[in-house]
Chain A
Amino acid sequence: MLNQEYPKFEKGSFEGIEISLSEPNVKINLRGKKKEFFTKIGKILSIILPIEPNTSSSNQQYNTLWLSPDEWLVYFNGEDRQLFNNLFNEISKLNFGSVVDVSNQWICINIKGNKTFDLLSSGSPFNYESFKKTKNSVTQTLLNHTDVIIHHKEINEINLFVRRSFSEDLWLWIKDSARFI
């Protein structure tokens, strides 16, 4: 039986770094290449999916992240599954692409502060030099040997997605490392 409860992470505040659990969030994985796929997404989300690698696009409600040439992650605050149902019925059911609810698969952790990227660099092979200067950039990489998706939402503020089963371990690592940055 899937554990529907989110892990209980207490906020942490360190010099130049603040970390908190950013849940509940609805997260939807989208895959597709067909023309109809893009038209339907545009209509339902009122957003154009980012085609350029390592970027994202957002409107008032939704954030869409580029994951690969035919794969995106959509996320937004709340627990409203209506959007998922719309997308599923309009795209998956008609075979224009695939729509999967991954809300319970990923945990979103918010990290902010002027030392955010020092913290990330301390456990990641990714080069954050240009990433940290570009708002709305996205990357998938490793952090402390764990797969993560990083969305650079505002300057010095990121939303980090980690698989649920790895989230506690990574959270402890982040808390530990933040003390020494």
Chain B
Amino acid sequence: MFLINCPYCGERDQSEFSCGGEAHIIRPKQPTELSDDQWAEYLFMRKNIKGVQFERWNHAHGCRKWFNMVRDTKNDKIHAVYKMGEKPPVE
């Protein structure tokens, strides 16, 4: 159990949130020009870092807003929380 600071509602228990996977993945501009491998790379392949990871989270049982989080997967230490569309903080 850990606490997450929702950028809209404030500090809440983790059970109110759901994780939406890796953040800052950019959709290719011309999907039709990609090979199957390139498309699969974009669609399915995700980093699974043991350490600091950039993730999307949703406050599912609260304000239902999406936001980004920098989390250390080793110890669940949250380094930063920032809104959608904002630039990730530089480490």
- A residues near B (Cβ < 8 Å) are 53-54, 67-69, 71, 125-127, 139-142, 147
Q: CA A54 – CA B12 in complex, angstroms? A: 12
- Contact assessment for A141 and B63 in the assembled complex, using a CB-CB cutoff below 8 Å: no
Q: CA A59 – CA B16 in complex, angstroms? A: 31
A69, A126, A139, A141: the one within 8 Å of B8 (CB):
A69
Q: CA A125 – CA B12 in complex, angstroms? A: 8
Q: CA A69 – CA B67 in complex, angstroms? A: 13
A54, A68, A69, A125: the one within 8 Å of B10 (CB):
A54
Interface of A is mostly: strand
Known: A68-B65, A140-B61. A53 touches B16 (CB 8 A): no
Question: B15 within 8 Å of A by Cβ?
Answer: yes
B11, B62, B64, B65: the one within 8 Å of A141 (CB):
B62
- B residues near A (Cβ < 8 Å) are 8-13, 15-16, 61-65
- Contact assessment for B8 and A140 in the assembled complex, using a CB-CB cutoff below 8 Å: no
Known: A125-B15, A125-B16, A126-B13. A147 touches B8 (CB 8 A): no
- Contact assessment for B10 and A141 in the assembled complex, using a CB-CB cutoff below 8 Å: no
A-B contact count (CB 8 A): 37
Question: What is the distance, in angstroms, from B36's C-beta to the closest C-beta of chain A?
Answer: 39
- Contact assessment for A67 and B63 in the assembled complex, using a CB-CB cutoff below 8 Å: yes
Q: CA A147 – CA B62 in complex, angstroms? A: 8
Q: CA A142 – CA B65 in complex, angstroms? A: 16
> What are 23 A-B interface contacts by the 8 Å CB criterion?
A53-B8, A53-B9, A53-B10, A54-B9, A54-B10, A67-B63, A68-B65, A69-B63, A69-B65, A125-B12, A125-B15, A126-B12, A126-B13, A126-B16, A127-B11, A139-B9, A140-B9, A140-B61, A140-B63, A141-B16, A142-B15, A142-B16, A147-B61
Extra contacts, 7 of them, besides A54-B10, A141-B12, A142-B15 (Cβ < 8 A), are: A53-B63, A67-B63, A125-B12, A125-B16, A139-B62, A140-B63, A147-B61
Looking across the interface, which residue of chain B has its beta carbon closest to that of A146? Answer: B61
Chain B residues within an 8 Å CB radius of A147:
61
Question: What is the distance, in angstroms, from A163's C-beta to the closest C-beta of chain B?
Answer: 12
Chain A residues within an 8 Å CB radius of B61:
140-142, 147
Question: What is the distance, in angstroms, from B6's C-beta to the closest C-beta of chain A?
Answer: 9
